Every structure is written in structure tokens, then in C-alpha cells.
Amino acid sequence: MSPIEEVIINKKSNVNPIWIMRQAGRYLPEFREIRKQNPDFIKLCLNEKLSSEITLQPLKRFDLDAAIIFSDILMLPYGLNQSVEFKKNMGPLLGEIDLKKISKVEEVDFVEKLSPVYQLIKLVSSSQFTNNKTTIGFVGAPWTLLVYMMNKKSPKLNLNENFFEDKHLIDKVLKVLDKFLKIHIKNQVDNGAQVIQIFDSWAGLLKEKDLPYYMYNPTLSLVNYIKSLNVPVICFPRGIKNYKKFCEIVKPDTICIDYEVDPIEINKQINIPVQGGMDPKVLLSSKENLKKEATKYLDIFKDHPYIFNLGHGVLPDTDPNMMDYLVKTVKDY
């Protein structure tokens, strides 16, 4: 059993596993080389040879305990025939949402369209670099995918004021998402994903009254499904105010926390394994500060099953030497 599974399944608190969200990608010079020659991001995600190579790049450099697949949560709308493209300095841009079109998508066509993602998982999980390490697959949470599909761009740029008005459309899209997210998860697990993480990047946009319909219920449906496959599930509802309530309702195996919550409170309130927390910007500071911040989280969770990670993805400006130092700090703790 890998160190991460020891923490999640056996609730071991005497191991210090580490993996980092976005560990494969933009801060690594070897990734930038590949990206320069492959400007179309979706095509790159669908090139299993290159995407598996990218997934393994950080494991060749650092003593990390997991490979997180190089893919994107927006492969799901892409698989449903909504157009998705990534523009420099803009992020993702999606086409109009056509309910008739997405309702007609057949499972066989969806799986065929995303098959390179499943091949990538197969290649990664059978690699010599993932011996005694966990292969992590992932999906976007229904709410976050709904935001992208209906808003057609990142809500960071702006969220359409009339977003919540078309309840009929929202209801139908959530049903389609529930069906195809489960298909996507099943194919990842069948090809070697040992843990699934659900990213709810825009959970923080929701008001308290809207949480059950948009977040709790749709995410719980996925969590129950993943558990039925005998695979652990990590949830990352970024930006929510009440992690304790989320855990009580959704019941993930592990909760991933963002950098705006107080880890001391989380340690007191939550009895399941915890992951993450440290601000990615700490990696842009000094080694002294990095050691201090990393040790703070390790101290707080020293008697709690804990997987070291950041409270969001690693930033593009991060020096790989700082990442190396972080991994060693955690391993030597």
C-alpha cells in the first residue's frame, strides 16, 4: 500500500506523504519545452504519449508520493461536444451550450473521444516511476463544470448576472453531468486510477442557501458512486466557509483544504484525513520561510492523518529547486 493510501484508508498519522496540485506542468522547464511545440492544450491532453510523459516529469525530479494525471476538468464538456479552447492570458473559452446536442451524446462516443485520457492513466500506472506511488485521477465537481459550461469562461473574468435564471437548463445540465462524470470516473478507475479527486474550484461563489442543490447533493452522488467502485475519494471544495458541514454531508474519504482556512480549526473540527492548506505563494518566498510554513502544517496535523499539499495549484513562477526543497522538508520532518 502506498503512503497516500496508508493515510486515506488506514488513517495512519505517522507517515508524511506529499503530492502537489499542478505538480506536472507550467513551472517545469521540460514541460515548457513540450508546450512550446504543442500550443493546442486540448490536443496535448489527448496525446497519451506526451501527457503520460508530462505526468511523470515531476516524479523523475522529486520524491513525490503520487502521480496526478496531466489532464483538465474541461475534458468533460469537450467529451459532450461543447467547444473548449484555451487562450493565452484568458484561460478557457467555451462555445454555446446546446442542450439538444449534449443530451444526444452516447456513452460509447464520449468514451471514444476521451480514450487517450484513459490510455494515459494506463501508461502512468504501469510505469516504473509509479512503484509504491498512487496514481490519482480527477474530475471537476458538477457545480464548477456547470459554471464553465454556462458562463462560457472563467468566472474570474466575470460571472453572468443571469446565471441562476434558467432553472430548467441548469437542472438538465446537472443530470447530464452526473451521468457522464460517473462514466468518466469509471473509465479512469478501470485503467488504473487508485484515488479520485473532485475539484470544486468555484465552490466559494455559492451562497449558503444554494449549497444543497448546486454542491452538496450533486457531489454526494459522485462520492457515493466512487466509493461503490472501492476507490477512495478526495474532495476539494475550494473557498467554502464551512468545511466541517461539507464533510458531514458529503462524506469524502479525505478533505482537501484551501489556504484561506485556519488549519488549527480544521484539525479540531474534522476527524477524517486532511490534505493541503499551504499557500502556493510560499514557494515564491525564501527557503527559511518555506520551511517555517511547511513545518507549521506538519506540526498542526502531526497526530492527524494528513497528506501534505498546497491550498491550490503550484504557480507558474515557482522555482523547481524550491519544490525540491519542500519535498525534502516534508520527507525529513
pLDDT surpasses 90 at 158: no
d(CA 217, CA 209): 13
Average pLDDT value for residue range 89-93: 88
Q: How confident is the model at residue 95 (pLDDT cuts 50, 70, 90)?
A: very high
Per residue in 295-331, pLDDT tens? Answer: 999 999 999 999 999 999 999 999 999 999 999 999 9
Q: Positive or negative, the Cα torsion across 213, 237, 50, 155?
A: positive
With beta carbons less than 8 A apart as the criterion, state whether 317 and 284 touch.
yes
With beta carbons less than 8 A apart as the criterion, state whether 266 and 245 touch.
no
Q: How confident is the model at residue 287 (pLDDT cuts 50, 70, 90)?
A: very high
Identity of residue 246:
F
pLDDT at 156: 83
**Looking at domain 3-332, which CATH architecture does it have?**
Alpha-Beta Barrel (3.20)
pLDDT surpasses 80 at 225: yes
Average pLDDT value for residue range 184-200: 98
Per residue in 246-266, pLDDT tens? Answer: 999 999 999 999 999 999 999
Helix or strand or coil: residue 18? strand
* Consecutive H or E run containing 236: strand 233-236
Whether pTM > 0.95 for this model: the answer is: yes
pLDDT at 276: 98
Our CA angle for 103, 108, 114, nearest 5°, is 90
